[in-house]
Structures are given as structure tokens and as C-alpha cells.
Chains A and B, each alone.
Chain A
Amino acid sequence: MTALERAISDPRPIDGIGSRSPMHGLARRSIGFADVLGQSVSATAPSAAATTVPLLLSVVAGAAQVWSLALAAVLALLVASAVNEFTRRMAATGSLYTFVAKGLGTRASFVAGVALLTGYGFISMFALGGAGTYASVLLARVVPGVDASPVLLAGTIALVAALVALVLARGIRVSTRVALVVEAVSVGIIVTLVVLLLQAIAPRADWSVLSPAAVSPPTLAVGVVLGLTAFVGFESAATLGVEARTPFRTIPRAIVWTVVVSGALYVLSSTSFVLGFDVIGERMSESVMPVDQLASAFGVAWVGALLDLSIATSFVACAIASMTALVRVLFSMGREGLAPAVLGSTHSRFRTPFVAVVASTPLVAVVPVGAALLGAALWDTMQVLIVVAAGGYITAYVLVCAAAPVFLHRIGELTWPPVVRSILTVGLLLGALLVYLGEESQSERSPGVWVLLAVMAAGLVWALVRDRNVPGLRHRIGVHDEPIASDVLGGALRGHGTGRPGGTERSGGG
């Protein structure tokens, strides 16, 4: 009999395996690939970004935007490969925060954690603001006697936020499924639109405007950095590590597919914009609603209404997905004790980080609601919010790319390719981050840069204070899902890890 036959016919219990994971309380291993993909795609919100980012790019990169977006997709794929060194090996709700802890240690993980919370938090504010804007416009159109007033706008944003919180609290299957369906509709609409536009444009198009010969390297660099902001959120599937079935297969795939699908959509839409504006002889950078303008020019004006619907639904899906990721990072911090322990508790029936949802949603909603009530131009506020979010995301990306080879070395699985990719990506991303913040600090969105720095500094001080005051915290940072008796052949050694009360005191190793 071989050892494998013997192990199968007479399984022995395994020492070091508990009867429950340190992440217990969540709906462990319950959602499939489509839902995990829906999470990442929704957080990226490619249908909204496919119309807005090319508009931003047209100002700085002009016709080079197509190439900028294609290169940004390659850069995002490099980041995805670093993230996936972790997602193939560990399942965690803390995502990049936990990964950085496993590679670079506690201090670096504080920076990554605060950066990631900043990214998810501010993109949620942005999405709630966007969803509220479109929803209130629709309301004013449909319900007679209602005007698009600041109070209506604020009320709608608050209502959307409450609905998001409800969906999030109700269960991971509910929230990922809602986000998946809503985002699928949105992407479907935008693809239809772009294909229709391209069909109308193609016969009259001058394809030479896309030639790479016309692209200057500095323009391209700035374009790639801005283009990267269209991809942020793709990594958010990693926060579902505990809740996904076969997480070591589905999560890496979802992350890569999100970049590929979004990248293809961006290249397609920016191509149609560049060709279209060239044909009608107008400047895209002076346009406000490029799709509307092109649609009217090419005789398909009715698509404008469809586009509004697509963007509105994309904002809702983005809010759900970004808040899903945000509360799971908070949940992880609560379990470790970095954040108040109550954030690490779960709802017994819905098996969601209920307290984290209830605590974070009002904090996130208050910014767009406040901006609406104060009568500030909400769109201007949203432009600032997205700068803060992008800065947070890219900071976390830099750290996770640096952490990947160190982590692989620590677990004894280091080979050369991840080292080379890491050095290349960290260099490119650091450059990108500096160029981006430098550019934005010169623009009318400069408050975003200062808010980012202030939020990062405040968060870091808070983390360091907690680190000093909470005994044993350092050893609990980096908590992740652990295999339980029912996952391994032979189960757990009797008496090991059973009947352990609470569970929050359990360290995740590290």
C-alpha cells in the first residue's frame, strides 16, 4: 500500500488544525465565481469609468488616451499578479492590508490598511453621490411637482446609502448578487452603446489618428497614471477570501478577469471617442457629455437616456461593492483589535460584519449628503473625492507589490519572476503616484491631495497609538482564514481548538 492509499483508507487526525477559523461568523465558503467576479467588476465600475475617464484623459493625453489605457491595463495586470501571489495562498477579509502585514510587517500594514480604507471609503462617497444625483434627476422627471432641490438630492443620497447598508447587512449572497446583476446590466448597456457608435463612426473614420507615432512619451506617462485610476477596485475580490467557495481558484481568476474585461471596454470606448470627435471635427476635451454629443452627431440620440440609466446603476453597484470591501477590512481590524473589537463581530443569522456596516455607512454617507445640503456643486466635490480614493488605492498597490516577494521568501516559495515583477511594478507605481499627486495638486482638484495626506496621517497616528496601547496587538495583525477540521483529510486532533469561547482572542499567526 502506498502512503496515499493508507492516508485515504485510514485517515489520521491532523495536529494544528482547529474546529473553526479565526474568521468564524462569516458565511464561510458560500459564494461562487460569478459573485466574486461581480464584486471586483462592480467596485471597478467600468461602465461609469469608460465614459468619464476618457474625458479626463482627453485633456491631458488627447488621442494618446487609447494607448494610455492599454498600458494602464498592463500595469494593473502586473499589480494583479502581485496580489494573486497572496490570494492563491491565503484567504483573508483584510485584503491588501493583511497581505502587506504578511510580507512587510505591522508598520507597513498600517499604511496599507489606512490607504485601503481611504480608497474604499472615498470611492463609496463618490459612488453614493453619483447614484444620488442620477436618482434624484430621475425622480424629478418621473414624479410631477418634485424639483431637483438640494434637499431632495441629500435625501436621495441618504436613501441610497440606507439601501446599500440594508443589502450589505442582509447577507453576502444578497449584496454580491445585487451588485452582479446591476453591474451586468450597466456593462451590457455601455457595450451596446459603444458598438452602435463605432458602427456609425467607422465608415467615416480616419484611423491614422490612433497611430502610436503621434504619441509623445511624457503625455503617455501622465495618461497611463490617470488611466490606472479607471482600474482601481479590481483587487476588491480579495476581501471575499473567507466567503468564496474554492477561494484559491476563484479569487485570482476574478481579479485578472476584472482587469481584462475593464481594459477591453476602456480601449473600445476611448477608440470610439477619439475617432468620433475627429470625424465631427470638435475637441473632446471641451465636451461635457461626450457620448451624448457623439450620439446626437451620429443620429442615435436616444442612447443618451440609456447611458444615464447605465451610469446610475453602475454607481449603485460600485457603492455596494466598495462598501462590501470596506466593511471587511474593518472587520479584519476589529478581529485583531486594531479597530474596536465590536467591529469584528458578526450577525448570527445573516453572517455578515453587521456592526461594521452600521458604523461605517453613516460616516461614508455624511460627506456627499453634507455636500448636497450645503449647496456645493456636488460634481466638483466628487472630483475631489476620487483623487483621494485613487491616491489611497495606488499607495496600497505599491506596498502589496513590494510585499509579494518578501512574503514568498518567508514561506520558502520564492522564485525569480515575482522578484523581477515586483521591482518593475513598485518603480512604475511609485512614479505614477508621484506624477498623479503632483498633477492633481496643480489642478482645481488639489484639495483632494491635501485631504488624502491628512487622512493618511490621521489614520496612521491612530494605528500607532492603538499599537502602543493594545497589548499583544502586534502578534494578531495579519489574521486570515485557517483550514478547519472539515477541510482536511483526517480532521482535527481531538480536543484541539474545540469549544474555544469567543474566538476573537485567537491569533492568526504571523
Chain B
Amino acid sequence: MTVSDVARATNGAGPEDGPDGGRPSRPLVDDVRARQPKAIHSALAVLEEVAARGAGVTAREISDALGMPRATTYRLINLLVQEEYLVRMPDLTGFTLGRKVVQLAHLVAPSPPPRAAREVMERLRSGIRGGVHLARYDTDRIAVVDVDDDFPLSDENRIVRDWDASAMGRLLLAERGVSATSTRSGHTLGAIVEETRRAGFARQVDELVPGFGCLAVPIRDERGRLVASVSFAAPRSRIEDPGDVLATLEAGADELGRLLV
């Protein structure tokens, strides 16, 4: 089962592997993710939802919030209960996180970027008025690894969950060629993917906070695969007409690419 795969993979990457943490076993985790990326994504989304709503959230509430089919959600929840990542409350209807989710810590909180990359981010921030964030893409997961402390993210849960809501998510949508999501029809989604591919960067306004938006510039490896992005959040007018900021971000992304890949 996929979830026990996560368990095995993460157990193998535990601190007992030596001072270098999960490094040696990381390929195993990646291998599992490559085989079952969708299921892992859903499992983590369920855990995320339970964490966000707190103890006592019901299966139906989780299903509704994630827009996943009931039967699928119930099966997934019971799998997570079997593996003890989730615990059923004494009333049998609500759920809370099991102590075992601690083993997922490095999976949900990826290691911070190298110092050189953080320094590039600081330099970008000093030259740009607005929030500048660094995100990494891990198969089918978005992890915001360097957040601008002066301009915190509005809703990180939604950003990593609903790819069509944020600019950094739209980059991943365009990369994967996703044709439908729970929140948007294939038609509008197709337009977003088309626009992002044509422009070479992604843009979003009014989705997360009315009157605000963001831009995301891709960072790619030598084979052209999307591995990270640097994004810029600001009031709507500056997103619709970014001016010099776009060039600054693209130069930054180029530099970051050499440090991250």
C-alpha cells in the first residue's frame, strides 16, 4: 500500500542512518514518489487538512474540503488510521494526527536551501518592493522553502494544495499538463496552462487575496525540468505590469538554478 510505502521510506530515512539524516535513503523516497505520486499527494493533503482543522474533524468534512470522492477519501483515511498516522477519536467519528506523523517531518518540511541560494534571495528582496519567495517542486508536491518574512504567504495550505490558485502552483500545472482539478473546469484550466506556457512564467491575481496577485518564474535543471520557482507577490497593478521586476526575477532564477540544481 502506498501509505506503508511512505512509512517504510521515511523509516529508512530516519536519524538512525547517521548524522547526515535522510540523505542516503532519499532516492528510495523519490522512487516511491515517482511510482505513486498521486496517492502520496492525496495522503499528505488529508493529513494537512486534519492539521489545519484540528482534532475532531470528520471524514465527510475532509472529503468535502479536499473535493475528493467520498469512497476514495474514506479508504485513504482508514489506510492512514491503519498505519497510525491518523487516530480516530473516542467518539469514532472524528480524527486527529497520530504521533507517527513526526516520522514524516522531513518529508513535509524539506531541508532549507543552501546558504548561497538564501543570499541570492536576500539580494533579490532588497532590490524589489514586495514579497519574494522560493518554492521547490518535488514530483507532485510544492514546498515553499524560503518565505519572505516581511510579506508572509496569505494561505500556504491552499497554495500547496490547489495548484490553480497560485502562480507557483500554475507553473506546476503547466509543467504536468493537468487537464482538470476539483475547483476549476477543464476549459478555464486549459487557458491558464496555455497562457503560462506561452509567457514562460505564471501569473495570478485576486485568487488568494482580492486586489493582490503574484508572478512565478521557473527554475529548471539542465534537462529543462521544473525543479523550483522564485515568485513575487504584490498589489494587482504591479503584477499586471511588473516592469523591471520581471527581468530581475529572471536573472535571479538563472542564478538560483545554478545553486539549487
Contacts and interface: CB of A to CB of B under 8 A. Distances in A.
Interface string A475-491: 00000001100111110
Interface in A1-52: 1-9, 14-18
A16 B59 CA distance: 18
B56 A8 contact: no
B102 A8 contact: yes
Given A411-B92, A489-B101, A5 B78 contact: no
Main secondary structure of the interface of B (DSSP, over half): helix
B92 A489 contact: no
B109 A5 contact: yes
Interface residues of B, number: 39
A486 B82 contact: no
Contact of A249 (B48, B82, B157): B82
Nearest to A417: B71
A8 B71 contact: no
A352 to B, nearest CB: 24
Interface string B81-104: 111100111111100111101101
B254 interface: no
Contacts, number: 113
Contacts of A137: none
Query: Which residue, A2, A90, A102, A417, has most C-beta atoms of chain B within 10 A?
Result: A2
Nearest to B70: A415
Given A4-B44, A7-B51, A483-B88, A248 B97 contact: no
B51 A3 contact: yes
B175 interface: no
Contacts of A410: 93
Contact of B51 (A4, A483, A508): A4
A52 to B, nearest CB: 36
A30 B245 CA distance: 61
A88 B81 contact: yes
Given A483-B89, A487-B99, A509-B90, A8 B81 contact: no
Contact of B58 (A1, A16, A412, A486): A412
Interface string A497-510: 00000000000110
Contact of B82 (A1, A4, A88, A417): A88
A85 to B, nearest CB: 10
Given A88-B82, A413-B59, A489-B99, A4 B92 contact: no
Interface in A455-499: 482-483, 486-490
B74 A4 contact: no
A246 B98 contact: no
A488 B88 CA distance: 9
A89 B81 contact: yes
Interface string A403-434: 00000001111010100000000000000000
Nearest to B52: A3
Given A4-B48, A6-B51, A17 B97 contact: no
B89 A7 contact: no
Interface string B119-130: 000000000000
11 contacts: A2-B48, A2-B51, A2-B156, A8-B109, A16-B55, A89-B88, A89-B92, A248-B82, A412-B59, A486-B99, A488-B96
